[in-house]
Structure 1
Amino acid sequence: MSTVSDGERLAPVLAAAPAADGEFVEITDADVDQVVELWQACGLTRPWNDPHVDIAEARAGAASTVLIARAGGRVVASAMAGHDGHRGWLYYVAVAPDLQGSGLGRAAVVAAEAWLVARGARKIQLMVRTTNTGVLGFYERLGYADQECTVLGRWVEPR
């Protein structure tokens, strides 16, 4: 990956296609099933969120995307990124269980951050389920900290 000046900051930019193993690119139609399998293997899916719908919605607009990395012909890492007009958000950061600890998680976050910064994000946030305490140290090492807020939500349509 190369870097590009963004004021006083340097932000990695996505490498041009075709991507070599480990480079992050935007998801294609052919990748969707592998990404869903990856998310399931990492315990990120929930019965009330259809991952196929989440992917389709992320790909539908210019303010969000799903970035993936491949190795040996398979999808091994992902990060969904979205910009809400105020901040950037990360979702579905995943690395194949057999490759966790290899640096792909950090690379996924860096690629997603770069995508968001290129679209004007000045702050990037993510949510971690209270049951997923094992990942907190990973995000802390990347500079993420508890924002001392509670996320509330409600469904506005029947599920």
Structure 2
Amino acid sequence: MIRPMTLADYDDLITLFTTTPGISVRDADSRENIDRYLQRNPGLSFVAEEQGRITGCCMAGHDGKRGYLQHLVVATSARGSGLGRQLARACVDALAAEGILKSHLFVLKDNQDGHGFWRQMQWKNRSEDFEVYSWIEGDNPNV
């Protein structure tokens, strides 16, 4: 069952994130920050639940013109079932309902499974078009 994500899912999701290869958890993924993200982007993030256990997640938000998918994760035991595709589609559909028709996402360079998944989903790799630069306020590189 796919349903909207709530803050009550936080502890289970952090466990899923930290036990799934290719997923990076940062200080920005604190309970407080996830709560703020969900409040700012209501109804755009989803979890998959099976027999009371969260087996997947995809978070989404937007800046008013472009959508951003984050933390698409599917438990190793549930991979190959189409769950990742369903979660991503739920986010894209929710964004489209708000008039957001183009979305982006970031995949760590060494996450080969992630790159393969998004290519299979026919998302376009834009690394030839632009580079990503980040500014970190303060001295904590894990924000």
> C-alpha root-mean-square deviation of aligned residues, in Å?
1.9
Q: Number of paired residues?
A: 137
Q: Percent identity?
A: 28
Q: After TM superposition, which residue ranges in structure 1, 4 or more long, deviate above 4 angstroms?
A: none
- The CA distance in 1 between the partners of 2:24 and 2:36, in whole Å, is 16
Is the aligned partner of 1:156 residue 2:128? Answer: no
**Aligned-residue offset at 1:154:** 1.2
The aligned counterpart of 1:97 is: 76
Residue 31 (structure 2) aligned to one of 32, 45, 52:
52
Is the aligned partner of 1:34 residue 2:15? Answer: no
| CA displacement 1:53-111 (0-9 Å, x = unmatched) | 44212112146743111001011110010111121110000101111111101111101
Bigger relative contact order, structure 1 or 2, given CA contacts below 8 A and separation 6+? 2
Is the aligned partner of 1:82 residue 2:61? Answer: yes
TM-score by length of 1: 0.77
| CA displacement 1:128-153 (0-9 Å, x = unmatched) | 11111222121112120111221110
Q: Which blocks of at least 5 consecutive residues in structure 2 are unaligned?
A: none
Q: How does 1:126-141 map to 2 (within 5 A)?
A: 126-141=105-120
TM-score by length of 2: 0.85
- The CA distance in 1 between the partners of 2:33 and 2:83, in whole Å, is 22
Q: Which has the higher helix share?
A: 2
- The CA distance in 1 between the partners of 2:30 and 2:74, in whole Å, is 16
Q: Which blocks of at least 5 consecutive residues in structure 1 are unaligned?
A: 1-21
The DSSP-based 3-state class of the residue aligned with 2:104 is: strand
- The CA distance in 2 between the partners of 1:72 and 1:61, in whole Å, is 29
